[in-house]
Amino acid sequence: MPTTTADSERGFCRDCLTLQKRETGRCYHCGSPRATRHPELFQLHLAHIDCDAFYASVEKRDHPELKDKPLIIGGGKRGVVSTACYIARIRGVRSAMPMFKALEACPDAVVLKPDMEKYVRVGREIRSMMQALTPLVEPISIDEAFLDLSGTERLHGEPPALVLARFALAVEREIGVSVSAGLSYCKFLAKVASDFRKPRGFSVIGEAEAVEFLKDQPVSLIWGVGRVFAATLEQDGIKTIGQIQRMELNDLLRRYSSMGNRLYHLARGVDERTVHPDHAAKNVSAETTFNSDLSTRDQLAPILRALSEKVSARLKKAEIAGRTVVLKLKTRDFKIKTRNRQLAAPTRLADRIFETAMPLLEKELDGTRFRLLGVGVHDLTTPEKADPPDLIDTKATRRAKAEEAIDILREKFGKKAVETGYTFGQSSRFEPQQPSDREDDF
Ligand SMILES: [Mg+2]
């Protein structure tokens, strides 16, 4: 969209989406006070969308009688707050707070246990609405995603800023929860912007103001600077992003190695990360439905082994690893059971996935007949820390080495070149009856 002086003075109303030519307190069309105005409004394309108090909002939608009450979602095993609604937040309740403390701060709060299945379902509905705007959607959690809207103006007939505001209204109307949006030219500042004015926020950070905006912000705002690293920086006398802006790249590299590079660039509002829909998988899994129901170890173990190898191959191919192994079973009467176990270190080895899932499976073998078996790996991460040598189980280390050797052979000579004892001659018997490889399904 060409920049003109007229553009720089333009904004729009977030309730009726009417363009606002002049700065006025309220929309001249509908009287709403929710106007957005920014010199770069119609040039920016990178968005971050975050649902407001997601679990609590979904429950308020489903229980209108709770609308004006303080609501806490949490409890369960760990006894902490998952999400607090904004009324409870005003009273001092925070995420991850122990439940007894939350109830001290807000004794009349209504507490509901999380219904993850429902939240996942609603999260997916919202995600598919995002995917209708652009194929470049990168989910970062159940209720949060980056969207790259560049090049979509012709498709939508309006610039990304309006597409985004229209989307926020549609989610409220069709799903019944609210979102906050951040619009910028890079991921870092889009995420910062969406956090700015919640709930129902819509904030814009332009390229021209980035350095000035960041100057007085705390270093903890920088992506990747957690509590521990912020403390290190503070020990070195660095508290604000402005201080980093005045430092040389070499100095930052010398002090903080690769993190120094990130600090240097992000402090200046330079973030080259692109929106990657492919890297966004929250888990990698494989499952298969049987031709006839199965119930014994001898029947199920080889299938679990084959599925573990499939998952492992995909993890290796995508250069990711995961820390939690999840087993999925569907009984003859269509009841779904999932069991999971967290590992001490992330893995991408078939052997480790199988050895972790097998005891979970064995516990379920009580004669129940199953129609589906699946295995997956969650809590994905980069592979650097995956599969450290196991000092206690040296056999596992040896098996890991063997698996690496097999991978190399398979790479060279094709998948069928090496079959392990468990899968030998089995593969064709357990071909899925329907396409069932799913990246994000359990
Ligand atoms: Mg959220």
pLDDT of residue 148: 97
User: Is residue 74, in this structure, part of any structural domain at all?
Assistant: yes
Same domain, 300 and 398: yes
Alpha carbon of 32 to ligand 1 centroid (Å): 25
Cis peptide bond N-terminal to 160, omega within 30: no
Same domain, 244 and 128: no
Alpha carbon of 178 to ligand 1 centroid (Å): 10
User: Is residue 437, in this structure, part of any structural domain at all?
Assistant: no
Domain range for 93 is 38-208
Same domain, 197 and 226: no
Any idea what the Cα angle at residue 96 is, between residues 229 and 385, rounded to 5°? 45
Q: Which one of 144, 287, 309, 403 is the catalytic residue?
A: 144
Which residues neighbour ligand 1 (ion) by CB within 5 Å?
50-51, 54, 143
pLDDT of residue 439: 33
pLDDT of residue 431: 35
pLDDT of residue 68: 96
User: Is residue 197, in this structure, part of any structural domain at all?
Assistant: yes
Domains contained in the chain, number: 3
User: Is residue 24, in this structure, part of any structural domain at all?
Assistant: no
Question: Averaged in consecutive runs of 10 residues, what is the pLDDT profile of the chain (442 residues)?
Answer: 48 93 82 92 96 97 97 80 95 92 95 89 93 91 92 93 97 97 98 94 96 97 88 95 97 91 96 78 84 93 95 83 93 89 90 95 95 91 74 73 75 57 41 34 37
Same domain, 384 and 251: no
| CATH number of the domain to which 65 belongs | 3.30.70.270
Same domain, 227 and 263: yes
User: Is residue 439, in this structure, part of any structural domain at all?
Assistant: no
Q: Is 68 annotated as a binding residue?
A: no
pLDDT of residue 64: 96
pLDDT of residue 429: 35
User: What are the distances in angstroms from CA 227 to CA 188, 353, 380?
Assistant: 18, 32, 22
Alpha carbon of 198 to ligand 1 centroid (Å): 10
User: Is residue 400, in this structure, part of any structural domain at all?
Assistant: yes
| CATH number of the domain to which 286 belongs | 3.30.1490.100
Alpha carbon of 199 to ligand 1 centroid (Å): 10
pLDDT of residue 242: 98
Any idea what the Cα angle at residue 388 is, between residues 312 and 327, rounded to 5°? 40
User: Is residue 406, in this structure, part of any structural domain at all?
Assistant: yes
At residue 288, the 3 state secondary structure works out as strand
C-beta atoms surrounding 247 within 10 Å: 15
Query: Which of residues 188, 208, 228 is at a domain's end?
Result: 208
Q: Is 191 within 8 Å of 182 (Cβ atoms)?
A: yes
Same domain, 60 and 199: yes
Q: Is 163 within 8 Å of 42 (Cβ atoms)?
A: no
At residue 137, the 3 state secondary structure works out as strand
Alpha carbon of 80 to ligand 1 centroid (Å): 17
Alpha carbon of 108 to ligand 1 centroid (Å): 24
Query: What span, in angstroms and rounded, lies between the C-alpha atoms of 122 and 164?
Result: 19
Q: Please give the DSSP secondary-structure letter assigned to residue 240.
A: B
Same domain, 143 and 258: no
pLDDT of residue 441: 33
Same domain, 120 and 196: yes
User: What are the distances in angstroms from CA 166 to CA 68, 171, 181, 423?
Assistant: 26, 9, 11, 52
Same domain, 226 and 304: no
Query: Which of residues 241, 267, 293 is at a domain's end?
Result: 267
**Structure tokens belonging to residue 231:** 């403390």
C-beta atoms surrounding 260 within 10 Å: 19
pLDDT of residue 270: 96
Q: Is 333 annotated as a binding residue?
A: no
Same domain, 400 and 287: yes
User: Is residue 276, in this structure, part of any structural domain at all?
Assistant: no
Query: What span, in angstroms and rounded, lies between the C-alpha atoms of 190 and 49?
Result: 9
Alpha carbon of 321 to ligand 1 centroid (Å): 25
| CATH number of the domain to which 222 belongs | 1.10.150.20
Same domain, 218 and 194: no
At residue 271, the 3 state secondary structure works out as coil
**Which of 355, 439, 360 shows the shortest CA–CA distance to 403?**
355
Same domain, 74 and 182: yes
Catalytic-residue membership of 59: no
Query: Which of residues 243, 267, 291 is at a domain's end?
Result: 267
Residue 161 CB burial class (10 angstroms; 0-12, 13-18, ≥19): buried
